[in-house]
Amino acid sequence: MDVNRSAGKRFAEEILIVGAGVVGASVAYHLTRLGHERVTVLDARDRARLPGSTGLAPGFVGQLSATPELTVLARDSVATYRALAKTTPEPVFLQVGCLEVATTPARLEQAHHDVEQGERAGLPARVLDPTEAAALAPALIDAERALGALHLPTDGAADPAALTHALVQAATNGGARFRFDAPVRALEIEDGRVVGVRAGADGELLRAGRTVLATGIWGPVLAATASVRLPMAAVQHPYLYTAELPELDDTPIDGPIVRYPDHAVYTRRHGRRYGLGSYAHPPLPLTPSAALTSAELPFREEDFGTAPAAATALVPVFRTAPVGRRLNGVFALTPDELPLVGPAAGVAGLWCAEASWVTHAGGVGRQLASQLLETGDPLVDPERLAPDRFASWSDERISATALGHYQGIYDAH
């Protein structure tokens, strides 16, 4: 087949994406940016609310990582989110910077190495003294406790829900169709190939040349209907807000994200409240089912042990401010921290954009769109993200290794 005919065929083909969280929306956005208009996105959710992980995430977008592919995907996401932010009235993303506070001499020394690592990756970075760091985020950093902080000024904060709505709108403007309130019951298989999905209460068959799973923690549930195993694990994570504070206004994104790598804690401002998350507890796995309608579970004190109390004692504003909402949100991990992007193994017609963070979703969308449309310019080597890269691993090994990364998330080393 000549190249033009083959490209014409690809562009004529219907691509169906299941899931309109930040990842599915990003894949649709990038497909339409590349000129592919035959894109349909289905989601069980309604248009306004995001019951998946995206709607729970505080939206830290950090680019420095020991895994170079994650840095590439995060940097590309920042470029996409910046471009999108220029076209939307509401703030969806801002490069507010990140401060990684060192409370031990070893971490301070590491911060100096990170400056060099950042420079090699094209990310500006500097080590600040405690007073400089606390001046940038007085409510979040105690100058008495900090030994210094790594400042990464090009990192950012997203409003993940607003960002997703903006991606949906831009993809819609580019020709994609979004169908909400459309739960997908199963993948439809004919002659060993996924040819679409069964959706809605009546199990309507929707046909497509290629079907993309962007269903977040629910990925394994739908994949199983085509006997495909996705190598990922879902884990519970606590995030706490203060009550609304009179000294704060509605500015949705303001001030740097502050991380305490020595304590597995991170914190930021959200308009009139501050928020804080902690990884300082043993990972709590969850096996999502089709019956689970939200990525938020009840917050049970006993699940996270002393982690919430230790985190609130660390961050100045949390020591005195009344605590507001406390949430237990679920997200997905893989055994090597890289997302699952590309064709699923063992069945034709099925593709994945799974286990990606908000941080990498912009890049994941571009990567998958380039692979689907065979434009020849993926951001990273597709083999590194191939969904079948753990084919020889047992389920137990996949789960244990993935969960083993929980406490080290975002540690750049």
Binding of ligand FAD at residue 288 (CB under 6 A)?
no
Binding of ligand FAD at residue 256 (CB under 6 A)?
no
> CA 371, 179, 76 angle in degrees (round to 5)?
35
Alpha-carbon distance of 166 to 304, in angstroms, equals 34
CB 226 within 8 A of CB 188: no
Minimum gap (Å) between residue 333 Cβ and ligand FAD: 9
Helix axes 22-33, 160-173, angle to 10 degrees: 30
- String marking each residue 28-57 x if it binds ligand FAD according to CB under 6 A: --------------xxxx-----xxxx-xx
Nearer CB in complex with ligand FAD: 23/212: 23
With residue 169 as reference, give the H or E element that holds it: helix 160-173
* Bridge partner residues of 149 (DSSP): 101, 128
Minimum gap (Å) between residue 240 Cβ and ligand FAD: 10
Binding of ligand FAD at residue 21 (CB under 6 A)?
yes
Q: Which stretch binds ligand FAD (CB under 6 A): 129-137, 187-195, 217-225, 297-305?
A: 217-225
Nearer CB in complex with ligand FAD: 148/219: 219
Alpha-carbon distance of 36 to 17, in angstroms, equals 13
CB 161 within 8 A of CB 50: yes
Binding of ligand FAD at residue 137 (CB under 6 A)?
no
Alpha-carbon distance of 204 to 185, in angstroms, equals 9
Binding of ligand FAD at residue 307 (CB under 6 A)?
no
Token pair of 76, please?
């590309």
Nearer CB in complex with ligand FAD: 81/148: 81
Helix axes 358-372, 68-85, angle to 10 degrees: 90
Is 234 in a helix, a strand, or coil?
strand
Alpha-carbon distance of 354 to 394, in angstroms, equals 19
Is 55 in a helix, a strand, or coil?
helix
Binding of ligand FAD at residue 19 (CB under 6 A)?
yes
Exposed/middle/buried for residue 4 (C-beta within 10 Å: 0-12, 13-18, 19+):
exposed
Nearer CB in complex with ligand FAD: 10/82: 82
The correct pick among 183, 285, 324, 382 for binding ligand FAD (CB under 6 A) is: 183
Binding of ligand FAD at residue 18 (CB under 6 A)?
yes
The correct pick among 40, 80, 95, 215 for binding ligand FAD (CB under 6 A) is: 215
Positions in 54-93 near ligand FAD (CB under 6 A): 54, 56-60
Positions in 327-386 near ligand FAD (CB under 6 A): 329-331, 356-359
Q: Which stretch binds ligand FAD (CB under 6 A): 105-113, 210-218, 372-380, 386-394?
A: 210-218
Q: Which residues bind ligand FAD (CB under 6 A)?
A: 18-24, 42-45, 51-54, 56-60, 183-184, 214-218, 222, 237, 239, 277, 295, 329-331, 356-359
